């Protein structure tokens, strides 16, 4: 037996349809097997709060070993896991194909699936995961909802905290009055026929966040892609199911995977690539869905056809070259690489894409923001989330760039909140962006500069002509 594996990690399908998956005695035995290996290794001590909780639990037991830890005390360890996959992909030496066969995130998922099956996930938490329904309803009242959701609102947020458990201090995503799919229909953008990548065709999977909360990300992606000759169709069959996965509702996620994959299959058959706007959603389509429904051919096809937005644009730059017209961005950019972007094992594509903008300094932070999806906004976790993300906030303040960008918009807002809490007199940006928004901004800035130069040249030519006419007279 080797101490650690030098082979590339592989993941086995999640056996949630097998009866033993929900057997509590077998689950406890597997938890103890894995936790004991983690106790002896401890390489993940500086990742999410699951590992400090686990190690403290063992160290404070009567024997200092796992054998004197009560199984009921495992729950806080499970609850702290955000399913970021960083332990599996970047730290653990015992993941498959190593014979220890550790997959800590999927073991935490199994624990939550058992909880869900037993009815231990509250109705309140389940309702919060219904992002499509919530987005459609709340979008109708977006201005009022955004007023009520603001962390600066001292009237509504304490009430919300009491009712939902969401911290009154956590920044929450705003809602859009008009969805991305509707905006794309009302104001279509067309591929530039003279652009280098003309002939490419892609479906932009809007994602629940991009559709209902921040359509500007999708519109920016459309701008950049069509500018580079890509025919873009914005499609949104349903949410990817990541919110349900966090709570162990695997069956619903599997149903969602089959539905979305079936609706996107005709596009793929017609030669369209599929592009995800948010890394968590791209991760689901690429990697998680095939592990939940490994025998579904439509899901397999979708997995192979899916790209993250930054990954796709970098691919254009390398193969065909980007369309000209990018202008430098003043003040520089701090680019945070989101955990679910890292989990796609594609490299720092957001940073690669931003470095395509000429004469623009790009500082990269490759560390967890501490947000962890819905985990970081809950009252019970918010302060811990800020603590986990504090090193990122310090790096961002030190970089002192004008723009803060992350492919995960929730992580970006959490970083900005963490920066605001630091004892620093450094000037801070007043908002965060998605990297593709900055690329679109660089193109728009270039257009404005060219238009201004052309107007100046035209004015100079007109003045010269007028001077000549005056001289002739």
Residue 368: name the closest of 343, 350, 346 by CA: 343
pTM for the complete prediction? 0.92
Q: Of 334 and 6, which is predicted with more confidence? A: 334
Write out the two tokens for 15.
Answer: 């056996």
Measured CA to CA, the distance from residue 28 to residue 235 in angstroms comes to 42
Report the alpha-carbon distance of residue 347 to residue 349 in Å, rounded: 6
pLDDT tens-digit readout, 198-245:
999 999 999 999 999 999 999 999 999 999 999 999 999 999 999 999
Q: Which secondary structure element, helix H or strand E, spans residue 341, and what is its range?
A: helix 339-342
Spatial distance between the Cα atoms of 298 and 307, rounded to a whole number of angstroms: 16
What are the pLDDT digits (tens) for 401-445?
Answer: 999 999 999 999 999 999 998 878 888 888 999 999 999 999 999
Query: Where is 235: in which H helix or E strand?
Result: strand 231-235
User: Beta partners for 200?
Assistant: 198
Q: What's the CA gap between 473 and 468, in Å, rounded?
A: 9
pLDDT at 154 over 80: yes
The predicted-structure confidence for 274-290, as pLDDT tens digits, reads as follows 999 999 999 999 999 99
Q: If you average pLDDT over residues 188-194, what whole number do you get? A: 95
Q: Which of 177, 168, 116 is nearest to 146 (CA)?
A: 177
Q: How far apart are CA 275 and CA 110, in angstroms?
A: 29
Contacts of 29 (CB under 8 A, 6+ apart): none
325 — pLDDT class (breaks 50, 70, 90) = very high
Half-sphere exposure in the Cβ direction for 469 (13 Å, CA): 6
3-state DSSP call for residue 241? coil
Comparison of pLDDT for 321 and 452, the residue scoring more: 321
Closest CA to 281 of 210, 224, 378, 370: 210
The pLDDT tens digits for 116-135 are 999 998 898 889 899 999 99
* Tokens read off for 469: 């006419």
Q: To the nearest whole percent, how much of the chain has pLDDT over 70?
A: 98
Q: What is the pLDDT of residue 6?
A: 66
Stretch 157-185: mean pLDDT: 94
CA distances from 265 to 201, 210, 257, 285, 305 (A): 14, 21, 12, 13, 10
- Which pLDDT value is given to residue 1? 42
The string over 382-400, giving b where at least 16 C-beta atoms fall within 10 Å of a residue's C-beta and e elsewhere, is bebbbebbebbbebbbebe
SS3 string, 301-323, reads HHHHHEEEHHHHHHHHHHHCCCC
Cis peptide before 347 (omega within 30 of 0): no
Determine the Cα–Cα distance for residues 214 and 220; give it in Å rounded to an integer. 11
Q: Which of 416, 405, 420, 395 is nearest to 217 (CA)?
A: 405
Residue 173 near residue 131 (C-beta atoms within 8 A): no
Confidence of residue 115 (pLDDT cuts 50, 70, 90): very high
Q: How far apart are CA 260 and CA 325, in angstroms?
A: 36
Measured at the alpha carbon of residue 337, what is the angle toward residues 331 and 342, in degrees to the nearest 5?
A: 160
Q: With the C-alpha atoms ordered 206, 208, 209, 214, is the resulting torsion angle positive or negative?
A: positive
Rounded CA-CA distance 304/199 in Å is: 20
The rounded mean pLDDT for the chain is: 92
Residue 2 has pLDDT above 60, yes or no: no
What band does 189 get if pLDDT is binned at 50, 70 and 90? very high
Half-sphere exposure of 196 (CA within 13 A, CB side): 13
Q: Which residue has the tokens 């800035």?
A: 445
In the sheet that holds 231-235, the strands lie side by side as 231-235, 201-205, 273-276, 306-308
Q: By percentage, how much of the chain surpasses pLDDT 90? A: 77
pLDDT for 4 equals 52
Tokens of 139: 């979008």
Of 251, 252, 248, 222, residue with least CA distance to 235: 222
Per-residue b/e over 407-438, b at no fewer than 16 CB within 10 Å?
bbbbbbbbbbbbbeeeeeeeeebeebbbbbbb
- Label residue 458 by pLDDT band (50, 70, 90): confident
DSSP string, 415-433: HHHHHHHSS--S---S--B
Task: Evaluate if residue 140 carries a pLDDT over 60.
Answer: yes
pLDDT, tens only, 354-392: 999 999 999 999 988 888 888 889 999 999 899 988 999
- Residue 153: phi, psi to the nearest 5? -80, 105
Q: Which of 91-100, 198-207, 395-404, 462-471 is predicted most confidently?
A: 198-207
């Amino acid at each position: 037996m080797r101490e650690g594996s030098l082979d590339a990690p592989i993941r086995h399908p999640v056996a949630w349809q097998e009866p033993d998956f929900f057997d509590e005695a077998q689950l406890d035995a597997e938890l103890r097997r894995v936790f004991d290996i983690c106790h002896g290794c401890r390489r993940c001590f500086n990742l999410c709060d699951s590992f400090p909780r686990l190690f403290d639990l063992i160290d404070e037991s009567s024997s200092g070993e796992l054998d004197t830890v009560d199984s009921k005390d495992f729950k806080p360890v499970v609850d702290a896991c955000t399913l970021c996959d960083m332990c599996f992909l970047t730290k653990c030496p015992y993941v498959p194909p190593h014979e220890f066969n550790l997959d800590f995130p999927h073991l935490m998922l199994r624990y939550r699936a058992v909880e869900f099956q037993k009815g231990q996930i509250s109705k309140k938490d389940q309702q919060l995961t219904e992002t499509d329904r919530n987005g459609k309803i709340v979008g109708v009242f977006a201005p009022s909802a955004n007023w009520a959701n603001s962390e600066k609102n001292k009237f509504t947020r304490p009430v919300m905290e009491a009712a939902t458990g969401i911290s009154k201090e956590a920044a929450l995503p705003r809602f859009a009055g008009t969805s991305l799919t509707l905006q794309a229909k009302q104001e279509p953008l067309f591929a530039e026929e003279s652009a280098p990548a003309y002939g490419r065709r892609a479906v932009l999977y809007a994602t629940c966040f991009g559709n209902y909360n921040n359509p500007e990300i999708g519109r920016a992606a459309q701008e950049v892609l069509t500018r580079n000759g890509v025919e873009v169709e914005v499609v949104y069959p349903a949410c990817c199911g990541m919110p349900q996965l966090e709570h162990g509702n695997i069956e619903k996620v599997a149903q969602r995977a089959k539905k979305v994959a079936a609706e996107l299959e005709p596009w793929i058959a017609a030669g369209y690539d599929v592009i995800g706007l948010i890394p968590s959603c791209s991760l689901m389509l690429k990697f998680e869905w095939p592990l939940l429904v490994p025998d579904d051919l439509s899901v397999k096809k979708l997995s192979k056809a899916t790209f993250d937005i930054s990954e796709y644009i970098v691919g254009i730059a390398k193969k065909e070259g980007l369309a000209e017209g990018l202008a430098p961005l003043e003040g520089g950019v701090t680019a945070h690489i989101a955990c679910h972007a890292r989990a796609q094992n594609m490299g720092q594509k957001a940073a690669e894409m931003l470095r395509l903008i000429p004469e623009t300094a790009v500082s990269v932070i490759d560390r967890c923001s501490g947000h962890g999806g819905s985990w970081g906004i809950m009252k019970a976790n918010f302060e811990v989330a800020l603590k986990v993300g504090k090193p990122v906030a310090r790096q961002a303040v030190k970089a002192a760039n004008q723009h803060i960008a992350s492919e995960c918009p929730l992580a970006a807002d959490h970083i900005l909140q963490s920066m605001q809490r630091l004892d620093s007199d450094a000037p801070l940006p007043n908002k965060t962006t998605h990297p593709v928004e900055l690329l679109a901004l660089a193109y728009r800035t270039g257009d404005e500069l060219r238009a201004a130069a052309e107007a100046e040249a035209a004015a100079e030519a007109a003045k010269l002509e007028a001077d000549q006419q005056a001289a002739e007279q």
